[in-house]
A and B are shown apart, each in its own frame.
Chain A
């Protein structure tokens, strides 16, 4: 779907990378400012938006009751979808999700799943029959470079504030109460995407830098510092040393991103509780 390449000053970008600074003054391993907003959509069971510099993404979670997969009869279901809507970039075309959007959704799905974000057993209502299905819908609203990391943060953030109705099983009947409860969040997987331009590895590329990125490596880590999903993308290659350097970057930067996520969540949570208590 990437049709017309942006005009990019290659020499200028490479020149500044060689000095260890980017054209906007950042270090190679520095993200632009990250801002969270929680529960921005009241009709969703949970939602969050994330901005990383110019990148702006929104994730909404909808919960519904449905059938479990036959191989996991006592676990809930997580389904991740993503939409690259045309207003986010002139390079995005209207239509069904293309391979870029499908890849993103599947990688986020794996990160959340193997990162152990949600307790799936907690989503079981009647084994083999009824479980909660969580639809995680990713909306890319403004493409500013690093879509994987922004949407990964927005997805876990949205799950952290998701509330589902309390259900009671009476015989074979399910009674859905008005009262709502949060999901059981077990871990906070985050993604760090390493972008390769020439011999340089950089994080959070701008759109201009992105035009020069030859290969990217998205790595999810959990709070134990374990790697829980990896995806190499774009038609370039990495050396073994670059991959191992990326692992270290993913661990250290992942910790930073996770603490920004938790701090933003705690601040928001305090304010919400404060408002409820009339403070």
Chain B
């Protein structure tokens, strides 16, 4: 996996000039779409995603609803022009898996028992992808759910961490994701301090894994501050944020 490409230079700087513990500039906008119940836009580095939420609404197909709770559905899709080589608009296996893990990362926070026999639909459109799309999707979707007025126990904030050129890093770009040694997307409910998304791709010792999980949780907490600001003011951002060591 780790190719010849150097991801961290002799000054310890990453390909885009960031330090190992530095997040990319992050912007979250709320309520940007008119026809959905809740919406958000997230721009994290070059990654650019729109999320729209409908619901809780009655389901047209009765068989998908449940008598004791609302059913959460999630569709994550990448636009054909969002990546270097045109992506076919047909759903890929990756998109189907990501739709599932994103839904399962958001669902623990939603009070689904309050709305039996209804559907909550989350539509995620990745307009430009430059690494960290699943995490940015979760961060934005959680804000969009709140914007739709859906009662939740907590927001869900997500942040990817990983390893490149033997160094632990936060908020991976596309290059670091592709050519690094490991990629660990994490989502947490920041107030409850519980983990709702955890995946890993690559090879790590358990000490590295432990350190990365803690780093990710720190990153999630800073992203959570931006989510809260966005919900309060309609807009939240961080320009360049270095996590404390």
Given A99, A106, A110, A240, which contacts B195 in the complex, CB threshold below 8 Å? A240
| Given A99-B99, A102-B93, A243-B198, A232:B205 Cβ within 8 A | no
Contact present for A226 and B204 (CB under 8 Å):
yes
Alpha-carbon gap, A37 to B184, bound state (A): 35
Q: Are A228 and B203 in contact (CB under 8 A)?
A: yes
Complex contact B96–A240 (CB within 8 A) = no
Contacts of B122 in A (CB 8 A): none
Q: Is the interface of A mostly helix, strand, loop or mixed?
A: mixed
Q: How far is the CB of A3 from chain B (nearest CB, A)?
A: 9
Assembly CA distance A225 to B205 (angstroms): 7
Q: Which of A224-249 contact B (CB under 8 A)?
A: 225-240, 243-244, 247-248
A240 neighbours in B (Cβ, 8 Å)? 193, 195, 213-214, 217
CB proximity of B71 to chain A, nearest CB, Å: 11
A251 at the interface (CB under 8 A from B): yes
Residues of A that sit less than 8 Å from B by CB? 99-100, 102-103, 105-106, 110, 114-116, 215, 217, 222, 225-240, 243-244, 247-248, 251
Of B101, B107, B209, the contact of A232 (CB 8 Å cutoff): B101
- Chain B residues positioned under 8 Å from A226 (CB to CB): 203-206
The 8 closest A-B CB pairs, nearest first, are A230-B200, A235-B107, A237-B194, A232-B198, A99-B100, A237-B196, A237-B108, A235-B104
When distances are taken between beta carbons in the complex, the residues of chain A under 8 Å from B161 are: none
Q: Which of B72, B184, B193, B214 is A239 in contact with, Cβ under 8 Å?
A: B193
If A227-B204, A230-B198 touch, whether A235 touches B108 (CB-CB below 8 Å) is yes
- The answer to whether A243 and B195 touch across the interface, beta carbons within 8 angstroms, is yes
* B97: Cβ under 8 A from any A Cβ: yes
Does B151 sit at the interface, judged by CB under 8 A?
no
> Are the C-beta atoms of B195 and A238 separated by less than 8 Å?
yes
Q: Which residue of B lies closest to A217 (CB)?
A: B198
Known interface pairs A99-B97, A230-B198. Does A114 touch B203 (Cβ–Cβ under 8 Å)? yes
Give chain B nearest CB distance to A224 CB in angstroms: 8
* Least distance between A168 CB and chain B CB atoms (Å): 30
The answer to the question of B94 belonging to the interface, with a C-beta cut-off of 8 Å to chain A, is yes
In the complex, how many angstroms separate the beta carbon of B98 from the nearest chain A beta carbon?
Answer: 10
B189 near A: Cβ within 8 Å? yes
| A-contact 0/1 string along B184-225, CB 8 Å cutoff | 100001001111111111111110011001100100000000
Q: How far is the CA of A215 from the CA of B72 in the complex (A)?
A: 16
Given known contacts A229-B201, A238-B195, A243-B195, what 6 new A-B pairs fall within 8 Å (CB)?
A102-B93, A228-B202, A228-B203, A230-B200, A232-B196, A251-B206
Q: Say how far A120's CB is from chain B's closest CB, in angstroms.
A: 11
Among residues of B, the one whose C-beta sits closest to the C-beta of A221 is B206
Q: Which residues on the B side are within 8 Å of A234 (C-beta)?
A: 104
Nearest chain B residue, comparing its CB with the CB of A246: B198
Are A106 and B210 in touch, CB under 8 angstroms? no
- A103 and B206 form a contact (CB under 8 A): no
Closest to A220 in B: B200
Inter-chain contacts of B108 with A (CB < 8 A): 215, 235-237
B27 at the interface (CB under 8 A from A): no
B75-117 Cβ-contact flags toward A at 8 Å (1 or 0): 0000000000000000001101101110111011000000000
Nearest Cβ on chain B to A47's Cβ, whole angstroms: 23
